[in-house]
């Protein structure tokens, strides 16, 4: 959800140390990684194909990362992007990924693991776009001279140019009270950190974005 400066919105969530807050996009910490059993495998024409059955988690999608263990007909892979998925409602079917090897189809036995992917959001046409805000809170043992706030941008579909700001405020105010503490202009994504002192709220804002094909973003913060 985007930032809501109405006097009636829910209180912003508290950002706990070691916890990632998604100002843009999301990731489910309650959905398990997808686990699949492999019964057959083959590799040809630049593509490896596994016949699988999902036994835990949702059906995977193209673009998610797949790792395998125990396969003998084709080589095992680690964090290989899935290029194709053909599964029925019960999770039975095939998944494929890039492979340079040529291996005839044969019975195989092994497992696949597909971690849940972050879910991006489309960059709004109307800018600036204000991301979800989080409360920083005050924790015992925190350094009296400030805390390091880490923030990251990821663009699954990259724009030509972009400006994303890290903004902080003292309370739950209207938008003009947020002040820019740091800025990223990297269209390939960025990982940055900044020291913050005595701020209550933090959020990300897409201040400018041009070009690209349906640009999308994941923006997150951690303290």
> Distance (Å, rounded) from C-alpha 208 to C-alpha 131?
13
> Distance (Å, rounded) from C-alpha 168 to C-alpha 23?
13
How much is the pTM? 0.79
pLDDT at res. 180: 95
> Distance (Å, rounded) from C-alpha 215 to C-alpha 187?
10
Class for the domain spanning 13-27+119-222: mainly beta
Indicate the fold that domain 34-114 takes in CATH.
Answer: Elongation Factor Tu (Ef-tu); domain 3 (2.40.30)
Hey, is 79 helix, strand or coil?
Answer: coil
Hey, is 39 helix, strand or coil?
Answer: strand
What residues have CB less than 8 Å from 35, skipping those under 6 apart?
54, 55, 56, 57, 111, 112, 113, 114
**pLDDT of the chain, 223 residues: tens digit per residue:** 566 566 666 678 888 888 899 999 999 888 899 999 999 999 999 999 999 999 999 999 999 999 999 999 999 999 999 999 999 999 999 999 999 999 999 999 999 999 998 999 999 999 999 999 998 876 544 555 567 899 999 999 999 999 999 999 887 666 778 999 999 999 999 999 998 877 888 999 999 999 999 999 999 999 8
Q: Which tokens sit at 32?
A: 């398990």
Q: Which tokens sit at 205?
A: 């804002």
> Distance (Å, rounded) from C-alpha 207 to C-alpha 164?
6
> Distance (Å, rounded) from C-alpha 108 to C-alpha 159?
42
* Domain-wise residue ranges, the chain: 13-27+119-222, 34-114
Q: Could you give the angle at the alpha carbon of 199 between the alpha carbons of 195 and 201, nearest 5°?
A: 110
């Amino acid at each position: 959800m985007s930032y809501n400066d109405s006097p009636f919105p829910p209180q912003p969530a508290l950002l706990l140390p070691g916890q990632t807050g998604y100002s843009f996009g999301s990731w489910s910490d309650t959905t398990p990684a997808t686990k699949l059993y492999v019964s057959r495998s083959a590799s040809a024409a630049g593509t490896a194909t596994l016949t699988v059955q999902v036994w835990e988690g949702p059906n995977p999608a193209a673009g998610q990362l797949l790792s395998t263990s125990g396969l003998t007909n084709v080589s095992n892979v680690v964090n290989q992007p899935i290029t194709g998925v053909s599964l029925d409602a019960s999770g039975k079917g095939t998944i494929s990924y890039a492979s340079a090897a040529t291996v005839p189809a044969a019975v195989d036995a092994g497992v696949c693991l597909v971690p849940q992917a972050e879910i991006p959001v489309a960059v709004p046409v109307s800018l600036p776009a204000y991301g979800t805000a989080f409360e920083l809170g005050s924790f015992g043992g925190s350094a009296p001279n400030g805390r390091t706030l880490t923030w990251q941008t990821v663009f699954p579909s990259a724009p030509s140019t972009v400006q994303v700001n890290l903004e902080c405020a003292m309370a739950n105010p209207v938008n003009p009270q947020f002040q820019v503490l740091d800025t990223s202009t990297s269209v390939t994504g960025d990982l940055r950190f900044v020291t913050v002192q005595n701020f209550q709220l933090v959020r990300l804002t897409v201040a400018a974005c041009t070009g690209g094909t349906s640009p999308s973003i994941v923006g997150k913060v951690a303290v």
